[in-house]
Amino acid sequence: MSSYSTQMTQNSRQAGRQIRMSVFLPFIAIAIMCSLLSGCVGAVVGVGTAAVAASNTEKGLSTSVADSVIFAKLHDKFVQNDASLSTTVDVTVNDGSVLLTGKVKTPEEKILATKLSWEIRGVREVINEIQVTDKSSIKEIAKDMAAGAQLRGKLIADGDVSSLNFSIDVVNGIVYLSGVASDAEEMNRVVRHARDLKFAKQVVNYITLQTDQRD
């Protein structure tokens, strides 16, 4: 074989190795990141599998990787704060939007799941469809639902508030707010709207600012 042919063969092999490394580097990064999260050993394989499957969809690899990291971090938060959430709550992440489904015993568990979701960097929206099985602590369901709907309407109508960035839970007249505000003024506007509600007895503010550090 001529020296020219030998050089061409070596160049081809080197290019092949570079291509294979560029493909696997994102998954290596995910594995390293997950290994730093406590209780996330099993999630390394799951995250990698989810990323491979999602990379073949319209979302693309980078978005899929980000969603997979959010999923892994949220699972870890559930384990650290309330282990039962990791088994009773189903989590779906799509382009930074977190959908929570499943069943929990108390409203406090449902609110905690929302709060923990918003603590993760990259989360843009939290949709909490978790069902509460224990209704004994909810005395005025209709009023709570009306108050939540009214507040959501106020946020949508307020041009200075990005309503999708906030979650609302109302339990026994107590309004729980969570989400991410662009600044203190936006957060204060959301809190003021909540306090103006007819059936609001108390407002609990879990909103964080965009400048605050998130996981």
* Domain segments of the chain as ranges: 3-132, 141-209
The pLDDT tens digits along the chain (215 residues) read 544 444 444 444 444 443 333 333 344 444 444 444 444 444 433 444 344 444 444 555 566 678 999 999 999 999 999 999 999 999 999 989 999 999 999 999 999 999 999 999 999 999 999 998 877 665 678 888 899 999 999 999 999 999 999 999 998 889 999 999 999 999 999 999 999 998 889 999 999 998 877 77
- Per the CB < 8 A criterion, the answer to whether 30 and 44 are in contact is yes
Task: For domain 141-209, give the CATH number.
Answer: 3.30.1340
Q: Find the helix packing angle between 41-54 and 3-35, rounded to 10°.
A: 130
The pTM of the full predicted model, rounded to 2 decimals, is 0.66
Gap between the Cα atoms of 215 and 76, Å rounded: 11
- Distance CA(20)–CA(99), nearest Å, equals 34
Q: Name the amino acid, one letter, at 79.
A: V
Check if the beta carbon of residue 94 is closer than 8 Å to that of residue 59. Answer: yes
Asked whether 64 and 30 are in contact (CB, 8 A), the reply is no
Long-range contacts (CB closer than 8 Å, 24 or more residues apart) made by 146-155: 146/199, 147/173, 147/175, 147/197, 147/198, 147/199, 147/200, 148/175, 150/197, 150/198, 151/175, 151/193, 151/194, 151/197, 154/193, 154/196, 155/190, 155/193
* pLDDT number for residue 138: 59
Q: Hey, how many other C-beta atoms are within 10 angstroms of the C-beta on 52?
A: 13
At residue 134, the pLDDT reads 77
Phi, psi of 60 (to 5 degrees): 90, 165
Q: How far apart are CA 19 and CA 29, in angstroms?
A: 16
Q: Which two tokens mark 26?
A: 């994102």
Q: What's the rounded Cα separation, in Å, for the pair 90 and 102?
A: 6
Half-sphere exposure at residue 155, Cβ-oriented, CA atoms within 13 angstroms: 24
